């Protein structure tokens, strides 16, 4: 069974690679490390670091050494994090350690969530129905954005040969995503966030038109719905069956409904191109959440083109975990990888027993593996919660 923990390079560097591997394998009972290979900005409380209790990673950088020749002439290019230059290529070290008998290596790769690149290339970000840019989200319809992600994954898999590569955000992102000092005085509902997240950038408009979809009619409908939201005195649902009804919640708006059905195409085809160009020896899987359709993900279509998915079970009780895993297995089919993701955070979990119960529910419902979040963000003693969860799983 695939058992991994998401981790940042600086956490391993602070702890030392020998201690990290011992923590993951001997103490937590895991066999894989999922290393952040491309990542975004943030502010992290680092309880286990001896010196960096608060850490602000660089925005939109990669944690490996790109080959300059591979990127010559490309419009969107990666920036190597200063961490790599100053503290070493942790991905290379982990791969070498794996070859010497250590844990397997997975590359946790943020794809289109990149504010630094969005600011540099505003012509390639998602835009709402009023044309306003979402700088944190490169658009999956943009040829340059697609080329950036495909080339990055191709480079990482062919140069470093990880066992797995996990795709985070190869899709459309939501409007509210914890950007710096987000402000909303209206009181947006979930449906409002979704409407504001729909992309009508020139790339999406052109791609939809080529598919025979009236994107301009859809844009006008969404603009009217957003305007109505902004004029209400207090929040009021315009779609009472959202999100339970899925895309069907918008069926009374034919042009918008057609656009939402089409909207999965850029995401599906991008993931297919990633898989096609990546090293065949590396499994390519999608990281996604429940209701992935909100970001334009058709899990069944994606599963036909890549090697599987990790579905994050955040804030879910065992029965909800069971339901999500069964839905995931039905969409992916019997032969593709299905993983469950759990945050070992308090108060999401109060004990190792709670984590164990949800992990058992995931495996009983068809999961092939589990990822735990996150090595450097949790106190050391919670590694014992992970071990309790792992020891409670059926032997495979």
DSSP 18-60: HHHHHIIIIIT--SEEEEEEEE----EE-TT-SS-SEE-PPTT
Lowest-confidence region among 31-35, 107-111, 183-187, 310-314: 183-187
Q: Is residue 58 a part of any domain in this protein?
A: yes
Q: What's the rounded mean pLDDT across residues 372-379?
A: 97
- C-beta neighbour count of 190 within 10 angstroms: 15
| Residue-wise DSSP of 275-312 | HHHS-TTSEEEEEEETTGGGGT--HHHHHHHSSEEEEE
User: Which of these, 32, 21, 5, lies nearest to 163 by C-alpha position?
Assistant: 32
Residues 251 and 293 in one domain: no
Residues 96 and 207 in one domain: no
Residue 212 has pLDDT above 60, yes or no: yes
What percentage of the chain carries pLDDT values higher than 70?
A: 99
Q: What's the rounded mean pLDDT across residues 303-322?
A: 98
Between CA 153 and CA 162, with CA 156 as vertex, the angle to 5 degrees is 110
Q: What is the pLDDT of residues 320-364, one digit of tens each?
A: 999 999 999 999 999 999 999 999 999 999 999 999 999 999 999
Residue 345 to residues 179, 233, 305, 320, 373, Cα–Cα distance (Å): 21, 37, 33, 18, 8
At residue 176, the pLDDT reads: 80
Residues 20 and 134 in one domain: yes
H or E element in which residue 1 lies: none
Q: What's the rounded mean pLDDT across residues 250-279?
A: 98
Q: What pLDDT band is residue 96 in, cutting at 50, 70 and 90?
A: very high
Residue 383 lies in domain = 2-172+264-391
Boundary residue ending a domain (205, 233, 262):
262
Q: Is residue 178 a part of any domain in this protein?
A: no
> What's the token pair of residue 301?
């279509």
At residue 184, the pLDDT reads: 82
Residue 120 has pLDDT above 60, yes or no: yes
Q: What is the pLDDT of residues 138-183, one digit of tens each?
A: 999 999 999 999 999 999 999 999 999 999 999 999 998 766 677 8
CATH number of the domain enclosing 10 = 3.20.20.80
User: Which of these, 112, 115, 113, 110, lies nearest to 135 by C-alpha position?
Assistant: 115
Q: Is residue 107 a part of any domain in this protein?
A: yes
Mean of per-residue pLDDT scores for the chain: 96
Q: What pLDDT band is residue 394 in, cutting at 50, 70 and 90?
A: confident
Residues 323 and 194 in one domain: no
Residues 116 and 187 in one domain: no
Residues 258 and 269 in one domain: no
Boundary residue ending a domain (199, 234, 262):
262
Q: Among the residues of 175-317, which ranges form H helices?
A: 190-197, 202-210, 215-231, 254-262, 264-277, 299-305
Q: What pLDDT band is residue 55 in, cutting at 50, 70 and 90?
A: very high
Q: Is residue 177 a part of any domain in this protein?
A: no
The domain total for the chain is: 2
Residue 395 has pLDDT above 80, yes or no: no
Boundary residue ending a domain (246, 262, 278):
262
Residues 223 and 323 in one domain: no
What percentage of the chain carries pLDDT values higher than 90?
A: 94
Residues 110 and 243 in one domain: no
Q: Would you call 82 helix, strand, or coil by DSSP? A: helix
190-197 helix and 215-231 helix, angle to the nearest 10 degrees = 140
Residue 96 to residues 75, 316, 353, 361, Cα–Cα distance (Å): 32, 37, 35, 35
> What's the token pair of residue 351?
């004990």
Q: Is residue 396 a part of any domain in this protein?
A: no
Residues 227 and 274 in one domain: no
Residues 19 and 164 in one domain: yes
Asked if residue 68 lies in contact with residue 52, where contact means CB atoms within 8 angstroms, the answer is no
Q: Is residue 35 a part of any domain in this protein?
A: yes
Report how far residue 371's alpha carbon sits from residue 350's, in angstroms, rounded to the nearest whole number: 18
Residue 241 has pLDDT above 90, yes or no: yes
Residues 246 and 296 in one domain: no
- Residue 283 C-beta-side C-alpha neighbours within 13 Å: 20
Residues 100 and 19 in one domain: yes
pTM (predicted TM-score): 0.96
Q: Is residue 97 a part of any domain in this protein?
A: yes
Q: What's the rounded mean pLDDT across residues 107-129?
A: 98
């Amino acid at each position: 069974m695939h058992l991994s923990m998401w981790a940042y390079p600086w956490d391993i560097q602070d702890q030392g690679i020998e201690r990290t591997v011992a923590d993951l394998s001997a103490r937590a009972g895991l066999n894989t490390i999922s290393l952040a290979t491309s990542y975004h900005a943030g502010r992290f409380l680092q309880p286990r670091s001896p010196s960096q209790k608060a850490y602000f990673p660089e925005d939109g950088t990669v944690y490996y050494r790109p080959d300059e020749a591979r990127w010559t002439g490309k419009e969107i290019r990666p920036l190597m994090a200063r961490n790599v230059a100053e503290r070493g290529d942790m991905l290379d070290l982990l791969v070498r350690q794996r070859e010497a008998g250590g844990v397997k290596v997975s590359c946790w790769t943020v794809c289109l969530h990149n504010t630094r690149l969005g600011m540099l290339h505003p012509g390639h970000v998602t835009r709402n129905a009023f044309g306003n840019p979402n700088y944190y989200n490169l658009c999956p319809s943009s040829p340059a954005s697609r080329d950036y992600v495909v080339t990055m994954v191709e480079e990482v898999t062919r140069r470093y040969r990880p066992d797995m590569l996990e795709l985070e955000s190869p899709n459309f992102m939501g409007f509210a995503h914890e950007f710096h000092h987000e402000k909303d005085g209206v009181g947006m509902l979930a449906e409002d966030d979704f409407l504001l997240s729909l992309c009508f950038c020139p790339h999406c408009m052109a791609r939809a038109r080529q598919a025979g979809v009236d994107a301009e009619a859809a844009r006008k409908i969404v603009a009217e719905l957003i305007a109505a939201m902004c004029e209400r005195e207090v929040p009021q649902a315009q779609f009472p069956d959202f999100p339970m009804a899925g895309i069907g919640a918008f069926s009374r708006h034919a042009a918008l409904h057609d656009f939402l059905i089409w909207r999965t195409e850029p995401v599906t085809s991008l993931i297919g191109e990633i898989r096609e160009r990546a090293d065949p020896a590396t499994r390519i899987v999608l990281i996604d959440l429940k209701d992935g359709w909100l970001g334009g993900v058709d899990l069944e279509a994606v599963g036909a083109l890549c090697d599987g998915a990790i579905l994050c079970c955040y804030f879910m009780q065992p029965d909800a975990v069971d339901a999500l895993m069964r839905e995931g297995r039905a969409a992916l089919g019997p032969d593709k990888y299905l993983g469950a993701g759990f945050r070992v955070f308090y108060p999401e979990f109060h004990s190792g027993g709670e984590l164990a119960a949800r992990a058992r529910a995931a495996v009983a419902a068809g999961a092939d593996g589990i990822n735990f979040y996150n090595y450097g963000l949790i106190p050391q003693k919670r590694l014992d919660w992970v071990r309790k969860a792992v020891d409670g799983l059926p032997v495979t």
